[in-house]
Amino acid sequence: MLQVILKRIAIAIPVILVVASITFFLVRMAPGGPFDAEKVVPPQVMKNLNAVYNLDAPLFLQYKDYMFNLVQGDFGPSFRYPGRSVTEMIFTGLPVTLELALYAILIAMVIGGSAGVLAAVKRNTALDYIPMTIAMIGICMPTFLLGPLLVLFFGIHLELLPVSGWGSLSGDKILPSITLGAAYAAYIARLSRGGMLETLGQDYIRTARAKGLPEYQVILRHALQGGLVPVVSFLGPAIAGLIGGSFVVETIFQIPGLGRFYVEAAFNRDYTMILGTTIFFSALIIFFNLLSDIAVLLMNPRARSEA
């Protein structure tokens, strides 16, 4: 197992460096610069700004300097927010986004997992059709629709929950977590249903039943471990996706997370911020995929022996 982990880490480093290099040249190819504004910056000022941020050096030299600093963990200063380093901004937004992603994934697992298991156990009954129909709607409904609907109902109509914010008003974390978690709950419901159906047809489940074990024990003690393997494989990329894709929910609910920096950096041509967040997200995706692979290895003896 340790070998597998080390091998994956060894592959991850060049992957991140390639991502950084491609992103570096791609953002420079995009028209427009970080200091372009409706009120035109006079040429003298532009010259000064380019000098301040080393943008007047040849591109390859800039690339070399950037990569040299990157290897030392320095993402450079933000062009859009003078006085802020990219590292500082990433680590300001990250805890918020991680917290939001954690709540969302918990909601998704509890709701989606239980609905999927129930649907598999009560296959071809109302308890299968209804949750699966809701799951299908959940997958199809975008967060930018679900979020405002929840806000209108719980925030404005019932006046039960704050309509925006994160950690400022009591209960302001509930609606964003549900909004972000809903789509993933739907996926998890379908995956866990599929996984459980496959497991419930296995010989060892039949043996357990034949030995007279109560049904709830058959499901909880024997079927769940195998049935939830597809869900666990999905969780790694899902968490990475939640972190990277939380932009919409962060915007709807005015949450100071990392997703907003990521997207706004692209619009602002904040070169260092685009690079910093892209590299950081790449590392996160690799990390969570690795975690999910380890979890699958732990849960699935066959996979372990193949590894």
Partner 1 sequence: MKYSYLYIFSLAAIFSCSKAIPPVDSAIESQILHIGNGTEPQGLDPHIVTGVPEHHLLIAMCEGLVIANPYGGENLPGVAKSWAISPDGKTYTFFLQENARWSNGDRLTASDFVWSWKRILTPSLGSQYPDMLYYVKGAPEFHQGLTGDFSSVGVTAVNDTELRVELTHATPFFIKLLSHYSTYPVHKDTVLKHGAIDDRNGQWTRPGNFVCNGPMNLNTWELNKEITVTKNPLYWDAEKVRLNEIRYYPVSNESTEDRMFRAGQLHVTNVVPLEKCPVYIENKNPDLRIEPYMGTYFYRINTKHPVLKDRRVRLALAYALNRQQIVDKVSKCGQLAAYSFTPPGTAGYEPDTSIEFNPELAQSLLADAGYSDPSTFPVLEILFNTQEGHRKIALAVQQMWQQNLGISVQLVNQDWKVYLAREMTGDFQISRAGWIGDYEDPNTFLDTLRPNRGNNKTGWENQEYDDLLAMANSTNDQTLRYQYLNEAEKLLISDMPIIPIYTYVKAYQISSDVKGWHPNIIDTHHPKFIYLER
Asked if 152 interacts with partner 1 (CB under 8 A), we say: yes
Q: Would you give the DSSP letter of residue 123?
A: T
- Element housing 56 (H / E): none
Of the pair 161, 240, the CB lying nearest partner 1 is at 161
| 156 token code pair | 């404005």
Asked if 142 interacts with partner 1 (CB under 8 A), we say: no
Alpha carbons 171 and 160: distance in angstroms, whole number: 9
* Whether the Cβ atoms of residue 1 and residue 307 lie closer than 8 Å to each other: yes
Of the pair 43, 73, the CB lying nearest partner 1 is at 43
Binding mask 83-122 for partner 1 (x = CB under 8 A): xx----x--xx-------------x--xx--x--xx----
Question: What residues are paired with 77 via a beta bridge?
Answer: 85
Alpha carbons 6 and 288: distance in angstroms, whole number: 15
Of the pair 260, 279, the CB lying nearest partner 1 is at 260
* Whether the Cβ atoms of residue 101 and residue 243 lie closer than 8 Å to each other: yes
Number of residues that bind partner 1 (CB under 8 A): 67
* Whether the Cβ atoms of residue 287 and residue 246 lie closer than 8 Å to each other: no
Among 145, 149, 160, 298, binds partner 1 (CB under 8 A): 160
Q: Which of the residues 247 through 306 are near partner 1 (CB under 8 A)?
A: 251-257, 260-261, 267-269
Asked if 42 interacts with partner 1 (CB under 8 A), we say: yes
Phi, psi of 77 (to 5 degrees): -85, 155
Alpha carbons 211 and 205: distance in angstroms, whole number: 10
Q: Minimum Å distance from CB 148 to partner 1?
A: 7
Q: Minimum Å distance from CB 40 to partner 1?
A: 4
Alpha carbons 153 and 112: distance in angstroms, whole number: 22
Concatenated DSSP letters for 228-280?
THHHHHHHHHHHHHHHHTTHHHHHHTT---HHHHHHHHHHHT-HHHHHHHHHH
Q: Minimum Å distance from CB 225 to partner 1?
A: 16
Among 24, 70, 77, 146, binds partner 1 (CB under 8 A): 77
Q: Which of the residues 45 through 64 are near partner 1 (CB under 8 A)?
A: 45, 48-49, 51-52
Of the pair 271, 281, the CB lying nearest partner 1 is at 271
Residue 276's contacts (CB-CB under 8 Å, 6 or more residues apart) are: 75, 76, 86, 87, 89, 90
Helix (H, G, I), strand (E, B) or coil at 136: helix
Q: Minimum Å distance from CB 188 to partner 1?
A: 13
Q: Minimum Å distance from CB 32 to partner 1?
A: 3
Residue 88's contacts (CB-CB under 8 Å, 6 or more residues apart) are: none
Among 9, 136, 140, 169, binds partner 1 (CB under 8 A): 169
Of the pair 177, 289, the CB lying nearest partner 1 is at 177
Q: Minimum Å distance from CB 48 to partner 1?
A: 4
| Contacting residues toward partner 1, per CB under 8 A | 30-33, 35-45, 48-49, 51-52, 77, 80-84, 89, 92-93, 107, 110-111, 114, 117-118, 148, 151-152, 154-156, 159-166, 168-171, 174, 216, 220, 251-257, 260-261, 267-269
